[in-house]
Amino acid sequence: MEWSIPIGLEINRKINSENSHFFRKMSVTEFPPLLSNEEMKKNKIPLAYRDRCAGLLVPLNKCRKEGWYMPWNCVNERHAYEECQYLDFKRRVKELEELKEKLKQEQKSD
């Protein structure tokens, strides 16, 4: 019996090889460039997902569509997007803690 690679995996390999240069570069402190509202409308990004990580959502959605939404496709893109979401959450928590600390210091000085 001869085994062949499913079509979705072939597409996934092609897409991952094209975009892997960006996804390997993402580091702990790096966010993708912000998209304009026009770019987000053009790429049909829902309002709930229009945040700092929307730049990673565009190639992820493209990969998902071309890979027929198979769960094993677009692993690198999905990981980069989820990592960005986590880092953005940590950034917002840190900003909130700094704001609370600043308010406490202002109250002590009064």
Q: What is the pLDDT of residue 3?
A: 54
Q: What is the pTM of this model?
A: 0.70
Q: What is the pLDDT of residue 28?
A: 46
Q: Which residue has the tokens 């496709």?
A: 73
- List the structure tokens of 13: 């390999």
The 3-state secondary structure of 28-94, one letter per residue: CCCCCCCCCHHHHHHCCCCHHHCCCCHHHHHHHHHHHHHCCCCCCCCHHHHHHHHHHHHHHHHHHHH
Q: What is the pLDDT of residues 44-102, one digit of tens each?
A: 999 999 999 999 999 999 999 999 999 899 999 999 999 999 999 999 999 999 999 99
